[in-house]
Amino acid sequence: MLTIGISTNWDPEKKRVNIPNDYMTAVLRAGALPILFPLTDSQPAWDAMVDLVDAMIFPGGEDIAPSYYNEETRPLCGEIIPERDRQELYTYGEVIKRGIPFLAICRGVQLVNVYEGGPLYQDIASEYPTDIDHAQFSVSIGPIHTVKLSEGSLIHKVSGTQELSVNSRHHQAVKTLGKGLIASATAPDGLIEAVEYQNGYPGIAVQWHPENLAKQDPHAQRLFDWLVKTAAQRK
């Protein structure tokens, strides 16, 4: 059975890692086994975890430290988990070096952009003119707004449609694209909602949460199905 690694988040109050169950059920529905990556400061452990998996999911979570994109932390930047930043940026680098397929979600698309040298809006509401409230954290399914997929993009081919209705639970977003990235989906206000690699690398990064939508929306589940199928083709 194929294995799909999933990064985890840290709960500082309960002193434990956590991950919403929808990520795991979407992977299981696609026919693969989810493997959760515990947070640790051990680089050998990071390498060993990547060795275990056929594909990777970088899920949502807290904000990435602005120091990684050469900015000072502004007052409206949210909570930062330094341990997760270190581990995920390293893990993502190893995934890319090894050619492992990935799906990056919410914080994940921001991680991809920051790794490739691109900055973020630290707080959309105060930095980007829009009538859309992107930070609707209490709404798991929605929909909140639509996104338009770029014709011919990987996500367009995988989703089988040019427009999706999505949820929206983020207060940060891609500001300027990192090196080698292209925008493959945008919100009605022009905000970047998905990115891919110009060179066709097997990776899709989206700003919304398809794991919450996947049970009832086949377009959302197709992202997880694609990840597992692409991993199988590498075997």
Q: What is the mean pLDDT of residues 113-137?
A: 98
Of the residues 134, 170, 209, 219, only one is catalytic, namely: 209
Of the residues 77, 106, 170, 193, only one is catalytic, namely: 106
pLDDT at position 149 is 98
Q: What is the pLDDT of residues 174-185, one digit of tens each?
A: 999 999 999 999
CB atoms within 10 A of CB 151: 9
106 is catalytic: yes
- The structure tokens listed for 147 are 């996104």
Q: What is the pLDDT of residues 6-21, one digit of tens each?
A: 999 988 888 899 999 9
The pLDDT-based confidence of 109 (bands split at 50, 70, 90) is: very high
Q: What is the mean pLDDT of residues 145-174?
A: 98
Which ranges in 12-81 belong to alpha helices (H)?
Answer: 21-29, 43-52
Q: What is the mean pLDDT of residues 119-123?
A: 98
pLDDT at position 225 is 98
Full DSSP string of 54-65: SEEEE---SBPP
CATH topology classification for 3-234: Rossmann fold (3.40.50)
Give the range among 4-13, 20-29, 71-80 with minimum mean pLDDT: 4-13
Q: What is the mean pLDDT of residues 182-205?
A: 98
> How far lies 38's CA from each of 28, 58, 97, 149, in Å?
19, 13, 21, 33
The pLDDT-based confidence of 142 (bands split at 50, 70, 90) is: confident
Residues facing 55 on adjacent strands: 4
Q: What is the mean pLDDT of residues 26-45?
A: 97
Residue 115 burial by Cβ neighbours in a 10 Å radius (0-12, 13-18, 19+): buried
211 is catalytic: yes
* Mean pLDDT computed over every residue of the chain: 97
3 state SS of 11: strand
3 state SS of 67: helix
The pLDDT-based confidence of 235 (bands split at 50, 70, 90) is: confident
Instruction: Answer yes or no: pTM beyond 0.75.
Output: yes
